[in-house]
Chain A
């Protein structure tokens, strides 16, 4: 047990911070306010990611044959943590490098790999993830979007919702149904977003601009070679792909920056002296650090190829709690943080934090997983499988 960083890891952090210092514009906090999906931040990512790629910091964890250098799990994680803390200048592309690329490496055909991986590794392509539907949220396997076989491929009909980045994306990693079999009837399609028959509509929301959309598919033709894996393999593939993502994004790192900002503001205003304010600030700090340490534990486990017995879900619940603690601290003690004129970071954090318990799956489902995997408690009732 040793909670210090190696000199290599410290140097890596420094090099990411150097890139950030050299490349982020003066008004970056304003650009990053809306979150990774806004048009402005996405456009910025198309400049920023190639620079990261040039310095070997975009896909270092990928194998050499796909443009990486086989860097360790920790190296990949440290880069992601620094970038998320900075407001995520990779925009939506964090998703590409974290799991879309690796999933294509594992399940894609050589042609699919050749088509997609170089562009992801160069940092010039945006993807979106078409899973959720109006009637398939937490119960994702109940999705209904159909993929009907036609000559040379499939016709897709249906709709997706809450699709992040859809308006800016060139491709969609789409789940659709090829048969009625609940999980065995799901397939994955790599769909160009400029295919005829796709309509994207942004959903006005409390979270950042450009984050969530509805995507409608009307007789969209997808050629057979654009199917990833076999027809019945979709569920298994995403289960594997998302297992890689089980702790999600290092949200606590941005939460910590929001807390730093709020504390600095309160102190300047002479409003940090009361024990009540300090106690709540300390509570938020402890929640953030708890989340950080539980996430680190999962990264360490992953680096050692250990089995997840629910620790990933524990970490996610801790992350949700940390987001909530900081969000509520700001609402209680820096209420003007949500007004015009406040440091943009506070609203940026608020808009990210309120989605923490939902984006990448409802937190209550994580609690179910903790109960089952970590505490080994019995199921309440037989669930549909």
Chain B
């Protein structure tokens, strides 16, 4: 049990910060999200999206995904870092992923399960689809890929802080099944969700802390009020818990741990985003104040892959496999 970063991990994260900076805020942000193609290219060139190929572990990939999640700019990193290593080497990022669950399951992963596959997959906006080169379709026991062409995707305006797109049904005809274990891909998908929420939540909390220390009302910083302090203390506890659950799940490789980490992250999102906006006052509702850059990523991730209920339920099946615990 060692919680300190190894020297190599410290160097890796230092190298990341050398490229990204400490996450300085944009001078003006009036968009729902900020893309930074130059930064993305630098990260790509430095190998940050393909750590596994350079011999780094899943834990290290998660550390980097958390680090990139903290940035005010929106970069598709977690999926590439965690799911990328399972896919054929020819696959190009950015990678979008969508989970398709069969009807009749107790799963709530995708509602409106009835109807054709096209109706299930090609009606709903998919995170990162606009601008993605690859779409991963994760079904219960099968993984397929679509190599995307510009005409496959209809861009879609959104209130969330990610680029979204809607798949054109014809693109599904080019979906190819790949020989990748679906359960392992799902485990990694959950790690990616948990890592990205951890990073964004950490940054959103730090930004709010700065605000409540600076902003004064009633003759003192609003961060001096115990009502505010206690909720921030609980927020900090959940962010730290989320971080360590995610890192442990990445290190150990246990599928139940990954589901628990993702469930924890998605559940935490509700209280956290409410509180952080609340403590930022009306300023927190503006586009010029950067909080939304993280909270509207968190709010999008909160429902990903079925949301916290789905991950929690899965963690129970994985932690107490039906045959084993009978008669306990």
Contact = CB atoms under 8 A, between A and B. Distances in A.
A380 interface: yes
A263 B316 contact: yes
A1 interface: yes
A300 B247 CA distance: 15
B251 interface: yes
B217 to A, nearest CB: 13
Contact of A263 (B9, B234, B325): B325
Contact of A367 (B2, B5, B229, B247): B229
Given A2-B251, A286-B260, A286-B312, A317 B223 contact: no
A260 B9 CA distance: 36
Contact of B2 (A261, A278, A290, A300): A300
Contacts, number: 185
Contacts of B308: 279, 283
B211 to A, nearest CB: 12
Contact of A368 (B6, B229, B261): B229
Nearest to B267: A283
A282, A296, A379: most-surrounded residue (chain B CB, <10 A): A282
Given A267-B320, A282-B259, A299-B1, A1 B236 contact: no
B230 A289 contact: no
B118 interface: no
B52 interface: no
Contacts of B325: 260, 263-264, 267
Interface in B248-264: 248, 251-252, 257, 259-261, 263-264
Interface string B120-161: 000000000000000000000000000000000000000000
Given A273-B106, A282-B312, A377-B229, A5 B1 contact: yes
Contact of A264 (B3, B63, B247, B328): B328
B309 A294 contact: no
A290 B229 contact: no
Main secondary structure of the interface of A (DSSP, over half): helix
B309 A275 contact: yes
B297 to A, nearest CB: 21
A282 B260 contact: yes
A293 interface: yes
Contact of A282 (B237, B244, B245, B313): B313
Range class of the A interface residue count? 35 or more
Contacts of A314: 233, 236-237, 240
Interface string B292-326: 00000000000000001111111111011010011
Contacts of B226: 368, 371, 380
Given A299-B1, A318-B237, A380-B225, A279 B312 contact: yes
Contacts of A313: 233
Nearest to A296: B1
Contact of B320 (A2, A260, A280, A377): A260
A24 B98 CA distance: 51
Interface string A342-385: 00000000000000000000001011101100111111100000
A85 to B, nearest CB: 15
A215 B77 CA distance: 61
Contacts of A272: 316
B245 A290 contact: yes
Most chain A CB within 10 A, of B242, B260, B316, is at B316
Interface of A: 1-5, 9, 74, 260-261, 263-265, 267-268, 272-276, 278-283, 285-287, 289-291, 293-294, 296-297, 299-301, 304, 311, 313-314, 317-318, 321, 364, 366-368, 370-371, 374-380
16 contacts: A1-B247, A2-B251, A3-B248, A264-B326, A267-B325, A275-B309, A275-B313, A278-B317, A282-B316, A283-B263, A289-B245, A289-B260, A294-B244, A370-B236, A378-B224, A379-B224
